[in-house]
Structure 1
Amino acid sequence: MTVLVTGTAGFIGSHVAQVLLARGDEVIGFDNLNDYYDPTLKQARLARLQVLPGYTHVTADLADRAAVESVFTKYKPQRVVNLAAQAGVRYAAENPHVYVSSNVTGFLHVLEGCRHHGIEHLVYASTSSVYGANLKMPFSEHSPTEHPLTLYAATKKANEQMAHSYSHLYGIPTTGLRFFTVYGPWGRPDMALFLFTKAILAGEPIKVFNHGHHKRSFTYVDDIVEGVVRALDTVPGKEPAWNGLAPDPATSGVAPYRIYNIGNEQPVQLLRYIEVLEQCLGKKATLQLLPLQAGDVPDTEADVSDLIANVGYRPSVNVEEGVGRFVAWYRDYYKV
């Protein structure tokens, strides 16, 4: 297939593009290479793709309507994986307009491209953050997500609703993937594992919110990518409503639309995560214990039963193995 993958200079997008290329797909990569974090890391990810046969790169912004339309017109992708977004839960507090421009306006341009160019299937990144104030564990796609706690989560919730409307009105099969705390080699420098590793190696204290007591479904990047690719190959159709009274939030009942969680089923307490990192680094951390940050949820836990049943896959890499792989990559990349 020819697949348009947005965000190919990003953490998850670069990994997804590599897997698609390895199996013989043509990949049209799309990324604006912004400076939200170190652009040299993005360039390094991109350089790994540009030497591979079948990869074509476009440097542009999803908020640029004409640029997005030209990519669909010129390259005629059959399927789309939309991973480009303004990431980060906390950054939204200082830069709300960037989130709406990238995550809402940009996503609209992707949907319009899919609408006018006969796209077979759109897979897009959502987030476990949409569960917000929902305290029922594990988080299930069949539960309501009406109370996001951050603007980032609200933009991703908007993506899910926008996708549903386009699926219903224009028959575009869409699949939204709610990622749970992704980590691994080539990761984002603004995320905890990256920040902790850098600080520990430098002998600096690390900020540990909620005194380290919250739990997360930490999910290794290879597990995420396997789920993305399998979801891309599993085109949804119209499915029955959840019950006779209301549509199921995960399946619609009136449109070729699906929502899946992708996350490790075994949540890990943050203090344990840090302990594993200390063991891999061979160095103890100095902890600066702080209260829970505004917008953070105490715990996340993924119900992936739908992913297993319909896509035939469950994430399986544990934190001991995953953190070890990250540390090996970090030491090699940064020569420390």
Structure 2
Amino acid sequence: MDKRPHLDITLCAPRGFCAGVDRAIQIVELALQKYGAPVYVRHAIVHNKYVVAGLEEKGAIFVEELDEIPETDAPVVFSAHGVPKSVPADAKARNMFYLDATCPLVSKVHVEATRHFEEGHEIVLIGHAGHPEVVGTMGQLPPGSVTLIETVHDVGGFEPKDPSTLAFVTQTTLSVDDTREIVEALRARFPLINGPHKEDICYATTNRQESIKAVAPTVEAMIVVGSPHSSNSQRLVEVAKRAGCKHAVLVDRASEIDWSIYGNIKSLGVSAGASAPESLVEEVIDAFAARYDVKVKTTTTAEENIAFNIPKVLRNLETAAGK
């Protein structure tokens, strides 16, 4: 007789890979297929060490800066997070063949920031200091053109040159609720501030947070599969706690689960950040299934069918691969 305690697992949907991450990984894989190893990648293509390790096994070499790459004809891929303008300029100066895997939704923010700058606006970027996406967005414009705001508190201390010429953009992977509070504080202080035509926080970040909000109040604990370096994954844990699930944790994979937390729980929610592959979600479920009599159901709060085009030089391969 099965002595394992019963556990209801609720899978959040949508979860895991977004279209931008899927596209970035495809670009590296198709470049390896077309040009052979090595393919150099500047910065982790997405923030997941399992994905990075899989691409390394296929012949990708990850570097932080272009000057780590020897003189080569091999392709150089820029990560999904986007890069400052100085990076492609440097690559051109060194006659490198590069492929830009920047998520199109991040590129949209770059275009917005540039448009605001050209129209004479002073620009505020809502985001997290040091995150590669923030570094890339700020690097679209001359130094000093963009002021980074991380919290509502920062809004109170911000003194623009001219409050009538302000505009804001945001990092794409922020907490929807936190960002709303910061935007409200900016609008309260600076009623004339210009915002994006459409929300900068990407559809995938928003959808994953909404799914967590639906599930978190109904379960005793939540696991978000994702990397500690992944902004959108970190935000999912925060959203779960705010939605009423005290025991919400981030794990890279099943081997990191602290089993002392779970004991005789009867219900568990599981989601995954936008750069975490579904195989790692399955690994977590299997780990619980080895200790509990699990029943798995899915709560779906949105359907996603978005796909982004890959660079033209790789498209014939994409067709051949049946993508």
TM-score range for the pair, normalised by the shorter chain length: 0.3 to 0.5
TM-score, length-normalised on structure 2? 0.34
Q: Which has the higher contact order (CA 8 A, sep 6+)?
A: 2
